[in-house]
Structure 1
Amino acid sequence: MEVTLILILIAVVIIICIFFYYVPFFLWISARVSGVRISLMQLFLMRIRKVPASVIVRALIEAHKAGLNDVTRDDLEAHYLAGGNVEKVVHALVSASKANIDLGFKMATAIDLAGRDVFQAVQMSVNPKVIETPHVTAVAKDGIQLIAIARVTVRANIRQLVGGAGEDTVLARVGE
């Protein structure tokens, strides 16, 4: 009788441990308290799909608290599985929203997947960046050497960021 009771207790403890390993229950509680509606089954399926539930839920909480209602769990998961940086995209969306910059989720993820830092691009569209070139040396026909330094102020245009010139390209063009 006592042996079976101990075995039942051990089995219950093992089942509870497995449950808490596969289902991030406390993450679900923090999401619910923050006002994000996500089910335990969705969190469990994220674990099966090898998507870090904590990254997605934190991003959803940040987006929800900032008033971005067009950001969904499916979109964030798809962006993560495509190799994108979910946290930077959500930070950029929140910053763009606060700065009254028209930046949609699809545009932000496209910029991120293109290899650009979308959060830095939003910051650069608010605060322009000054790029200083290295010394550019030229010699005139009469033998006079000219050394110049150029300072270029760059403001990011979110609409033209994918396929546009980066800092290295600007430096190369000024050097020409």
Structure 2
Amino acid sequence: MEILIILFSIFILLGFLYLLIRIFHIHLWFKARQAGLKVSLTELFGMNMRGVNAKNVMLPAIMLHKNGIQVDTGNFDVEGAARMDDLEYLDKLAEQEEQRKLEAEEKGSVDLSDLEAHALAGGDPRKVALNMIADKKAGRKVSFRRSAEIDLPKTSKPTKLRRA
């Protein structure tokens, strides 16, 4: 009977470790922390839930941070989450977010959510990060928007439909 309890406990522990690694991407969280990038497990879980490969977003973010380009991570506002039905609050929040993005663009930083959005749009965050790093090393103004425009195709090719 004791052996069954021990085996069951080991099974539960292995399942928990699997969840930490697979769903919460604990290994990426450790890499980010080692590099000095403060990212939360909830952000990594959110990427997973939105269908984004967290590795494709986090590794370029770590690369940017190591090369001296500031990567802003989202800070979840607990008070604000309770006020999501207040339209005036949402308008104010949208204005603040737009202002924050403009300030980030001016100082040459990138937001983690921008890298994630770029990945969702079909772009390669790694190429964007490499472009930004090359701009910084060449002494040019670092711009996420410009680097993202270089990576994404200008026009989408129409898909051909086959008739059955």
TM-score in terms of structure 2 length: 0.63
Q: Deviations over 1:32-59 (max 9, x none)?
A: 0101110111111111212111121111
1:103–1:18 distance in 2 versus 1, CA, 3 Å? closer
Alignment match, 1:98: 137
Alignment partner of 2:128 out of 78, 89, 104: 89
Q: Distance in 2 between matches of 1:90 and 1:19?
A: 27
Q: How does 1:49-88 map to 2 (within 5 A)?
A: 49-69=50-70, 70-88=109-127
Shift of 1:6: 3.0
1:18–1:102 distance in 2 versus 1, CA, 3 Å? closer
Unaligned regions of 5+ residues in structure 1, if any?
117-176
Matched, 1:20 2:59: no
Structure number with greater CO (CA < 8 Å, separation at least 6) is: 2
Structure whose CA Rg is larger: 1
Q: Which runs of 4+ in 1 moved over 6 A?
A: none
Shift of 1:103: 4.2
Shift of 1:62: 1.3
Alignment match, 2:43: 42
Which amino acid is the alignment partner of residue 99 of structure 1?
A
Which amino acid is the alignment partner of residue 29 of structure 1?
F
Which amino acid is the alignment partner of residue 35 of structure 1?
G
Alignment match, 1:114: 153
Whichever structure has more helix as a proportion of its residues is: 2
Q: Deviations over 1:12-32 (max 9, x none)?
A: 322322332212112111110
Alignment match, 1:140: none
TM-score in terms of structure 1 length: 0.59
Q: Distance in 1 between matches of 2:120 and 2:133?
A: 22
Q: Distance in 1 between matches of 2:10 and 2:66?
A: 42
Q: Distance in 1 between matches of 2:18 and 2:63?
A: 29
SS in structure 2 opposite 1:36? coil
Alignment match, 1:31: 32
Q: Distance in 1 between matches of 2:22 and 2:57?
A: 17
Q: Distance in 1 between matches of 2:149 and 2:14?
A: 46
Unaligned regions of 5+ residues in structure 2, if any?
71-108, 156-164
What percent identity do the matched residue pairs reach? Answer: 32
